[in-house]
Structure formats: structure tokens, C-alpha cells
A and B are shown apart, each in its own frame.
Chain A
Amino acid sequence: MKLELRDITKRFPGVIANDSVNLEVNSGEVVALLGENGAGKSTLMNILYGLYTADEGEVLIDGAPVHFDDPGDAIEAGLGMVHQHFMLVPVFDLTENVILGVEPTSAGGRLDMGEARERVAEISARYGLDVDPSAIVENLPVGVQQRVEIIKVLFREAEIIIFDEPTAVLTPQEVSEFFEIIRGLKENGKGIIFITHKLGEVLTIADRITVLRRGRVAGEADPKTTTRQELSEMMVGRPVQLVVDKGPPSPGEVVLEVTDLAVADDRGHGSVAGVSFQVRAGEIVGIAGVQGNGQTELVEAITGLRHPVSGRIRIGGADYTGASPRQIHNSGVAHIPEDRQDDGLVLDFDLVENMILDGYYDEPYSRGLSIDWDHSRDVAERLVEQFDVRTPSVDVTAGHLSGGNQQKLIVAREFARDTKLVIAAQPTRGVDVGSIEYIHSQIVEERDSGSAVLIVSSELDEVTALADRILVMCRGRIVAEADPKITTHAQLGLYMAGETAPPEVRP
């Protein structure tokens, strides 16, 4: 089977999301679609999958034009999509999720679960997916949930399978298993479109690479001959620095001291299970780990958003265990939260309002009962300028900014004050490369000015580039401490999967 996209153009009010994009996939090959967030990858795939309609251009299968009104049409034509956010019903079992929409039934619409389970087991065996057809999906680890999604498209006899950022939620070990699955699919004659912004993965798995930038095809590349530098330049449109420029740290006194901290998640389960560590002034400590291993709860406990079950948190020598977020904030802690849209900003507020969120109640932003809007506006305009937030004015709402600029807005608000401790969770998630460089340089600058910095990131590249020391978290515990200069990604990956560090770290 051969799938072609020809001159696809899609306009949204104010933006051209896709501008005459061409793409071709054949059976038995892996085509990578590489691009930054907002480059138009998802729009293109949603058009292909019948979720959007293209304004111009056409989709051809084996040379014949086709038109999809909804995903049902696309599925029928032999396309399958594995979404970045899994489309699984948590309370259903694996087989129920797989058959949903194409259920084998006997007379009267009665489900034929026996036949369904058999077919799922058969697919699982053929592609080496190793799953239990009767397992309830919400009890499965993320890597296995992804296999459920793959079985879903195979059950629908898809010939071309689209993977949307498939490795974002996987451990490095799960990623290599996932690549094995991809190779197996390819050997079985499936065509694969692999959407990603990770350069390393593209070079490992793709047969051909198409790079999108601002809605246009910026170029094509052959993974055998191209380099990371070349690809990243195509992606961003200018030379980029792939390493963070920073000097050696000069650690001072202990600023953050966490002792035997245990924290429960929303359902009351132990999520951080007795963690102790220190962060000193003038150093960056990175916490690496697969998402969902207690990092979120750890950060929430340190910043006062969640009460710890037990343990101590000391900031600058004083006990802040169970203190309110405001008390902690006022002690000189800057917090870049993991979810900027939910926890970092009020999207419906303008930039001025967002900029004073952390101090509106006090001088100089307010006098008595009223807020000094003129002064607030001056401050906001100055910070927007200083921190390079790209916006038409400070009067637009935060929701109108791109992800990168939203993040820079938070950085501006948090770093503008005198800080002695910076807590940054996923500081560059979903942010364009230009903004990543900027935010990284700001974080290093905070360190050099004497702040203690704690970075939490699920991107291994980010942690190794920024951190002076790495702590690896797995299942609520710190399983290893590593030196980023001498520890390989492979070794870190093993720690992330739960292997504890040997007494001495081998080079």
C-alpha cells in the first residue's frame, strides 16, 4: 500500500498550520515526521485521520484520491493511529478496548468475547507483544497500554500506522522494546509514520525523514547520511546549540534539605516513599525518572501544594514542612510548575495580571485594598521585555501566547524576585527550541548568582545537559545518584527502570 499527501494546506484563523505539505509512505518503511511543537505535525495527521478537513490538497491511496469525513473512514481505508495521549477506556479490559467500534457479534448484537480474546491473543503472539487479553487497562503500565493501542490498530487491519510522539511516556528500556515492535511491524509489511521531535530516535528507527517547520516541509533527509546538527537546524531554521553552556558549579551551603520525605498521591497511595537529599547554593540538581514515579508529588510537597505524610523539608535552615505555598514562596523559592496551563498561569488573565499573581496582595503592587495597576503594568512591560516574552502587548490573555512564551512568562515572574531556591518541573516541556535555549541559560544564570536549583525532567537530555548532579527516582525512591559527565544514558535508563546503583559508579 502507498499513501501520499499532496500539497496539503490547512488554515486556522490567523495561522497557516500546513502550507502545501507533501508526504509519502509505502508498505514496509518507517517515515519520520520531525518538527517542533507547533510545526504542524499534529494538524497534518488529524487531516490524514479525518478529524480535520484540508482546505487544499489531496490524499491518495495507491494513486487514487480518497476523502475521509471522520476517523471511521480512515480506519476503513487501512489507516491506524496511536495517539500520544492513549485513547483507552481505563475500566474496560484489554480486549474490550481493542474491539470497541468493530466488535465481533453473534445474533442480536451480542458480543462474542471468546472470539475477540482469541484474535487479540493471536495478534499479540504474532507481533511479540506479550499481553494478557483479559487485563483491566487501568492496572497496566504505560508501556503495555501503548501495546494495547498497537493491537487496536492491528485488529482493524491497518496497513499504515501513525505514531504520535510514541516515546514521550516510555522509559529508555521501554523505548528500545518499542523500537523492536516497530521493526517487527515493518517486517510484516506495515507502513509507519513516526511523529516526533526527538532527533536521536529519528536517526535510530527511520528509513526516511521529513522535517516540518512552521507548517512547511523544511527538508528531507536520509538517516544514514545526516547528523543531529543538520536535522536540528532544519527543524529550527538556524544553527542551534545542542549543549548548555555552563561552567563548573561552586556549591555553597545547603539551601534545601529533604529528610525521609513520604508523600501520598490523590488516591492516598504512597507516591514518594522516604526520600532524602540536599541541594546546595550554586549547584543544579536534576531529578531524572519516568513520569509518574513520584516526582510530581515530591515537587508539590516541597512547594507546599501537598502535605507530606512524614519527613522534613528545610529551606535555608528553617523548617518548612507543611508550610503554605505563600510562606514557602516568600522565603525565596521560585517554582516553575510541571503544568504551566493549570498551575502556572491563569490563561484567561492578561499578562499584567499573571505577572503579579505572586505578589498582588502586597507592596509594591497594592496599596491598602486596591491594586496599583499602573505600577503593575510598568513592571509587567519591563519583565516581558527583559525575559524576551514575544507578545503583541501585555493586554492579551496568557492563553494567546505560544507554549514557549507562556513558559518564559512564568520564568519572568518567578526569577524577577530575589531567589535562593529554584524548583523547575519539566521546564521546557512542549516548548520550542529557541525558548528552550533561553530558559536553560536563565536557569544556569540563577545557579551562577548563588541560587540552589532543583530540576525535575523526564527528558534525559535535559537533565544531563543542565544538572551538576543527577538523582534518579523510581517508584517513589531515589535509586541512584549519578555524575552527568561520566554516566551514560544507557546506565541512567537502567536506574530509571529501577536498578539500584552499585556502591561505586563505574565510568
Chain B
Amino acid sequence: MVGLTTATAPVPVLRDPADIRRGRNIGIVYLILAAVVVFSFALGTEGNAVFRLGARPGEIDVTVPAAGLAWFTAALFAVLGVTHLVRAGLGRWTNIVLGTAMVLFAITFLGWAAAGNSFSLAGMLASTVAAATPIAFGGLSGVMCERVGVINIGIEGMLLTGAFMGAFVGSLAGPWMGVAAATLAGGLMALLLAVLAIRYRVDQIIAGVVINILALGLTSFLSSQLMVQDAARYNSPDILSRVPIPGLASIPVIGPILFNQNIFVYGLFVIVAVMTFALFKTRWGLRSRAVGEHPKAADTLGINVYRTRYRNVVTGGLIAGFGGAFFTLGTVGSFNENMTGGRGFIGLAAMIFGRWHPVGAFAAALVFGFADALQVRLAILNVNIASEFLAMIPYLVTIIVVAGLVGRSRPPAADGQPYIKE
């Protein structure tokens, strides 16, 4: 055989100027934040902040001089800012470093707010996990759908439906039946989306909005007709309580936060792990991703594009429905109108921030959950900022993230495009 030698060298990959610009912009943001930290948190601040990491006061306390912490943070941000300006970002580390820096910024802020006082960091991290859980379910549901090329704006509605069914069936037949009903209801909502988007090729954004409106209307109507009349019968499910995992739960600091949780949080861990493995290491995952990137190529290789899309969208709905039950069976214990409050949308932002990767979506959800927990704690600390502004923090973080500070990660190439078989 003749060996062919020319033209096999890969085309050199040049760096996208938009990426360079973004790296520089982030550098500028670091420098601005460094200035903010110096002027707001470092200068004129006195006293120590006591961060409680244990469950009870005095168990594991870390005492930090608030001003010193602020000077440290400012110095680090200044270094990071200059590094980003010079090197135009840190490549694939940019987002990870950015996320970590934001957490440090928040801790510095807390140190300033809690100067001369003590503050339960452990409690805040626990509420971070609680706030992140529904967002993460939303994000994972989104990953599931968008990896095969179907945009799911209806996640909010699927969470809400799950929350309602969890409370309703949970009250009548026990919380486990509630979980099952919530999961199924989410799947049914997703089936509706799938039929509209895949079979009838309705614009996927519109189909998703329709699902949200349908879910909001239906659950509000039923709760006002049934639950308000006889709350004891229809809207008082037993909450699925925390189940500490023996051994793991007694690890200091992170044990109680991660391993003394209810089945929803454990379910989340399992879904993140299984989905990551399945998407990237199995035949199913390879085919799913191929359908989301280049459905025609998949079709010519004998992969059924429609069936793959239906299956994944419905699975995404099952995940969202299960996550929705967390609201009523995992925390609150009853259903309120529109109680999901946009968590499904923030979940989509988490999916984008997390680059359509299950672990990324989960990590991003933790960032949003942290922002959510932060505003609640700050309200308790009596910080001199109007509570309305504090309540905006999670949404502000979402806007900043989605508006592209974190860069345009590349969605699956066929995302949102109906496939028409010839």
C-alpha cells in the first residue's frame, strides 16, 4: 500500500479573539473588585469575625481579623487581575478560578458584615446545599434535553408540577407515593414538550413557555380549589426527613452538610454521577451527544434521532419532576402557588454556566445556591442594605453569569433545531 504523508497535520487552532477579550475583561473585573474590597471592607473595619464551622457554637470556630481578610483578598484579586490582563485569561482554569474567587469575595464580605460578631458558616453552607438542590435538578434536566438538541424552557413548569403532585399525592398516599407521582408528572409534562417540539416541530422556546403557563395555571387552580378548602387532607404531606449516612455524616464540617440530608440530595448526587458516566462513557451517551451535535450524521448511521430525543427529553422531565417534589416533600411540607419562584430558569443558567456538563451544572447550582443563602443570612445579620436589594443577589449573579462574563461556552450544535427526516 502507498503511505500517504501530506495534509495529515492538524490545522493549528488559533485563539478566538472574543476569548482573549473576555480574559482581559475578567482581569479588569478582578481589579475593580480589589478596589471595592479595599474601600468597602478593609479600610475602617475593626474587630474579628468568628466563623462557626461546627453545628454548635464553640465546636469548631475560626476567628479571622476582618480587615486582614479583606487586605488578603484585595491583594489576591489584584494579582489575579494583572495575571488575567497579561495572559488574557487562564484558559480552561478561568471559570474554576473565577468561581473560587467569588466564594472568597463572599466570605470577605461576610467577614466585614460579621466583624465583632460570630457567624455560622456551617449553617450557611447547609442552606446553600438546600437552595442549590432544586436549581441543580433543573440544570440536570436541561443537560439531559439539550444534549440531544431539544431546548427545555419548561423546566420551571415541570418543577412546579412535581412540587404540586408531591404535596397532593403525598398527603393522600404518603410521601413515597408523592415522590413517585411527582416524578411521573414531570415526565408527562416533558412528553408533552417532546411531542410539540419533535413531532410537530413547534418552536421549542414557545413550547416550553406554554408548558410553564400550563403548569402554573393548573397547579394554582387545583390548589385554590382543593388545597385551600381542606388543607389538612390535601396539602399536609409528611416530610421525608434527613437520613444521615453512617460514617460519612460524622466527617467534620462537610459531613453534616453533605451526608446528613434527605433522599432528594442523595438522589442528586447519584444522578450527577450516573449521568456523567452515561453521557461520556457509554454507547447511549455517545449516541445522545451525536444526535445533539449532528442529527443527520446520526441518522445516516442508523441511529433513530426521534426516539433518542423522546427518550432523553422524557428522562429530563422525570428528573425535573423528582426535583420538584423537593419543594414540598423535602423542605416546606405544603404547596404554595408558584412556589418554585424561577428556580427552573436559574437551573437553565446553571446548565449554561456548567457548560452542558452534569458536574458543571451541579457546581454552578452551588454558586447560585450560595448567593441565595447569602441573602438570607445577610438579612439576619442586619447588614445596612435594604432587604429588597439583598433578595436580588441570586438573580443578579444569574444575569452576570448568563450575560457572558463566564464566556460563551459552546452549546450542542443542533440545540433547538427540529430534525426533519428526508
Whether both chains belong to one complex is answered with: yes
- Chain A interface residues toward B at CB < 8 A: 46, 49, 51-52, 70-72, 75, 81, 83, 87-92, 96, 99-103, 105, 108-111, 126-132, 135-136, 139-141, 143-144, 152, 173-174, 177, 180-181, 184, 264, 267-270, 497
Q: Determine whether the beta carbon of A71 is less than 8 Å from that of B299.
A: yes
Residue interface bits B1-40, CB-to-A below 8 A is 1, else 0: 1111111101101101110000000000000000000000
Knowing that A88-B294, A89-B290 touch, tell me 8 more A-B residue pairs with CB under 8 angstroms: A49-B300, A52-B422, A128-B3, A144-B8, A173-B7, A177-B7, A181-B4, A270-B14
Residues in A with CB closer than 8 Å to B294 are 87-90
Residue B195 at the chain A interface, CB threshold 8 Å: no
Judge whether A96 and B286 touch: CB under 8 Å: yes
CA distance A103 to B10 in the complex (A): 25
Q: Is B386 an interface residue (CB 8 A)?
A: no
Contact of B286 among A70, A111, A152 (CB under 8 A): A111
Q: Is the CB of A184 within 8 A of B300?
A: no
Number of inter-chain CB pairs below 8 Å: 119
Tell me the bound Cα distance from A54 to B10 in angstroms: 42
Contact with A along B276-304 (1 / 0, CB 8 A): 00000111101101100110111111110
Knowing A100-B298, A268-B16, A268-B17, the reply to whether A130 touches B283 (Cβ < 8 A) is: no
Tell me if B413 is interfacial: C-beta within 8 Å of chain A: yes
Complexed CA–CA distance, A69 and B290 (Å): 22
- The answer to whether B3 touches A268 (Cβ under 8 A) is no
Interface size of B by CB at 8 A reads 36
Q: Is the CB of A71 within 8 A of B301?
A: yes
A271 → chain B, closest Cβ, in Å?
A: 11
Chain B residue nearest to A136 (CB atoms) is: B10
A267 touches B3 (CB 8 A): no
Contact residues in A for B299 (Cβ distance below 8 Å): 71
Q: Is the CB of A140 within 8 A of B281?
A: no
* A100–B7 CB distance below 8 A: no
Q: How far is the CA of A163 from the CA of B372 in the complex (A)?
A: 58
Contact A111–B283 (Cβ < 8 Å): yes
Name which residue of chain B comes closest to A173, CB basis.
Answer: B6
The answer on a CB contact under 8 Å between B297 and A100 is: yes
Shortest CB-to-CB span from B230 to chain A, Å, is 48
- CA of A162 to CA of B163, assembled, Å: 54
Q: Which residues of B contact A136 (CB under 8 A)?
A: 10
A136 to B8, CA, bound (A): 12
Interface residues of B in 304-319 (CB under 8 A from A): none
- Which of chain A's residues has its CB closest to B284's CB? A109
Nearest chain A residue, comparing its CB with the CB of B298? A100
Using known A-B contacts A89-B290, A89-B297, A139-B13, determine if residue A144 contacts B283 with beta carbons closer than 8 Å: no
Q: A126-B1, A144-B8 are in contact. Are A101 and B302 (CB under 8 A)?
A: yes
B404 shortest CB reach to chain A, Å:
16
Partner of B282, one of A75, A105, A174: A105
Is B1 a contact partner of A127 (Cβ separation < 8 A)?
A: yes
Q: Would A108 and B282 count as touching, CB distance under 8 A?
A: yes
Known: A139-B11, A177-B4. A100 touches B16 (CB 8 A): no
Known A92-B293, A141-B11, A184-B1: A87·B301 in contact at CB below 8 Å = yes
Contacts of A173 in B (CB 8 A): 6-7
Residues in A with CB closer than 8 Å to B10 are 135-136, 139-141
Which residues of chain B are near A100, meaning CB under 8 Å? Answer: 286-287, 290, 297-298, 301, 303
Given A127-B1, A128-B4, A83-B300 contact (CB < 8 Å): yes
Q: How far is the CA of A99 from the CA of B303 in the complex (A)?
A: 12
Contacts of B281 in A (CB 8 A): 110-111
List of B residues within 8 angstroms of A90 by Cβ: 293-294, 413
Cross-chain pairs A/B with CB under 8 angstroms, 24 sampled: A49-B300, A71-B299, A87-B300, A89-B289, A89-B293, A91-B413, A96-B286, A99-B286, A100-B298, A100-B303, A101-B287, A103-B283, A105-B283, A109-B282, A110-B283, A128-B1, A130-B3, A130-B4, A141-B8, A152-B301, A174-B6, A177-B4, A184-B2, A264-B17
Q: Kindly list chain B residues whose C-beta atoms are within 8 Å of the C-beta of A72.
A: 301-302
Please determine whether B422 and A51 come into contact, CB atoms closer than 8 angstroms: yes
**CB of B53 to closest CB in A, whole Å:** 40
For the complex of A and B, list the 9 residue pairs with the smallest distance between their C-beta atoms, beginning with the closest: A72-B302, A101-B301, A128-B1, A87-B297, A268-B17, A139-B10, A103-B283, A109-B282, A109-B283
**Distance (whole angstroms) from the CB of A257 to the closest CB of chain B:** 28
Question: What's the minimum C-beta distance from A335 to chain B, rounded to whole angstroms?
Answer: 28
Contacts of B282 in A (CB 8 A): 105, 108-111
Chain B proximity of A143: nearest CB distance (Å): 5
Whether the pair B413, A141 counts as a contact (CB closer than 8 A) is no
Contact partners of A132 in chain B: CB under 8 A: 8
* List of B residues within 8 angstroms of A87 by Cβ: 294, 296-297, 300-301
Q: Are B7 and A141 in contact (CB under 8 A)?
A: yes
Across-interface contacts of A88 in B (CB, < 8 A) = 294, 297
Which residues on the B side are within 8 Å of A141 (C-beta)?
7-8, 10-11
Query: Which residues of A lie under 8 Å from residue B302 when comparing CB positions?
Result: 70-72, 75, 101
- B16: chain A residues at CB < 8 Å are 267-269
User: Which residues from B are CB-within-8-Å of A110?
Assistant: 281-283
B8 x A130 contact (CB < 8 A) = yes
Cα(A127)–Cα(B1), bound, Å: 6
C-beta contact mask, B379-422 vs A, less than 8 Å → 1, else 0?
Answer: 00000000000000000000000000000001001000000001
